[in-house]
Amino acid sequence: MKSVYFDNAATTPMREEVIIAITEVMKTNFGNPSSSHSYGRASKVIVEKSRNAIASCLNVSAGEIIFTSGGTEADNLVLKSVVKDLKISHVITSKIEHHAILHTLEALQNDNELTISYVDIDANGNIDYSHLETLLKTDGKILVSLMHVNNEIGTILDIKRVSDLCKFNNALFHSDAVQSVGHYKIDLQDIQVDFLAASAHKFHGPKGVGFTFIRKNSGLKPLILGGEQERGLRAGTESIHNIVGMDVALKMAYDNLEEEMHYVKSLKQYFIDEIKSTIPDAKFNGCSESNERSTYTLVNLCLPIPPKKAAMLLFQLDLKGIACSKGSACQSGSSQKSHVLSEILNDEDLEKPSIRFSFSKFNTKEEVDYVISVLKEFI
């Protein structure tokens, strides 16, 4: 049986170089970075070297990079701290954000006097910038939290435009950039976000590690209390091997960005062309059939299959060795429909199965051909 992994938006396979770097650190650098002896100092040097390297990829200072366990913790750190410590009273977001944002905001609203406004979006998941401007003119201390690249339909936010609007209106701006860091160049001197979240396993790094960009003099306070690690903003002994793995993965992602982007773009376009010719009744959700308006790493496909048969689709694909997703991996096993697709699809299309196929440099056209043939046979 063939084996095809088309679920890279959920997690990516690690690069061989990352595995080698992690293994070496685990063998030789086991000291606690907070210890004052030579073992600890050697580990501290490694952590700070990685922090500097990651900071340089985003054109920021090393002190603005805070290591976390991943994107979810990074989002929680920012949202909970700005409400509690910066006295944010109004958060502007969208209804198609990751649940790390939406569920955190719901919990914060239950415990605080917090207004949450949802900016209008169109049928492709693009925000209404005029509506955002209107919301920014309301009273109160405002935070805008909008993701750079949507994890289900791939719609790309004009993050520069939003950052400029926020600056003009004296609002803070946080962006969940989990699906874009490592896939797009992001210059945080040019793009004036105040906070940004990233996760290593989305760009061929290890799971269990990510970072928050927190612009200096933000006033944020820690979410996790204990020691004074991470500039006092995130207590807990640093996971040195994972931090090094993330450093290597991000550096390689940006060193090879143009070549790998070109390859994955061509693979996505090949997938789209083959779907259109083989299953002409299929629809692409959002603007995911575009390599410009949607990320080049994924497509979200609505298939012409009746509901009863649709219930078996993912199971049948898995039996054929094909890994893909009906939405966010964080909702896997849930019987609920995708909250993202519920916002942009009509009732008829919501009853049909929608599948997210996401690609990486490790995929091939032969794998696309195999997936298309299995889909055609099933339909």
**Cα–Cα distance between 359 and 272 in angstroms, integer?**
12
**Cα–Cα distance between 339 and 195 in angstroms, integer?**
25
Output the pLDDT for position 262: 98
Dihedral sign, Cα of residue 324, residue 293, residue 271, residue 248? negative
Q: What is the pLDDT of residues 84-130, one digit of tens each?
A: 999 999 999 999 999 999 999 999 999 888 999 999 999 999 999 99
CATH code of 16-255, in short, is 3.40.640.10
- Helix 257-278 and helix 240-255, axial crossing angle in degrees, nearest 10: 80
The set of residues, in sequence order, having a beta carbon less than 8 Å from that of 96 and lying 6+ positions away, is: 121, 125, 150, 152, 153, 155, 339, 340, 343, 344
- Catalytic: 57? no
Q: What is the pLDDT of residues 257-291, one digit of tens each?
A: 999 999 999 999 999 999 999 999 999 999 999 99
Domain map of the chain by residue range? 4-12+257-378, 16-255
**Cα–Cα distance between 91 and 171 in angstroms, integer?**
10
Helices (H), the chain: 16-28, 38-58, 71-84, 99-111, 129-136, 159-168, 240-255, 257-278, 307-310, 313-319, 339-344, 347-350, 365-378
- Which residue among 166, 287, 302, 330 is the active-site one? 330
The set of residues, in sequence order, having a beta carbon less than 8 Å from that of 137 and lying 6+ positions away, is: 169
The set of residues, in sequence order, having a beta carbon less than 8 Å from that of 236 and lying 6+ positions away, is: 224, 226, 227, 229
pLDDT band for position 336 (cuts 50, 70, 90): confident
Pairing label, strands 65-68, 115-118: unpaired
Q: What is the pLDDT of residues 213-264, one digit of tens each?
A: 999 989 899 889 999 999 899 999 999 999 999 999 999 999 999 999 999 9
Output the pLDDT for position 335: 57
Output the pLDDT for position 328: 54
Do the domains 16-255 and 4-12+257-378 match in fold? Answer: no
For residue 159, give the 3-state DSSP assignment. helix
Give the CATH fold of the 4-12+257-378 domain: Aspartate Aminotransferase, domain 1 (3.90.1150)
- Matching residue, tokens 């390297």: 53
Q: What is the pTM of this model?
A: 0.95
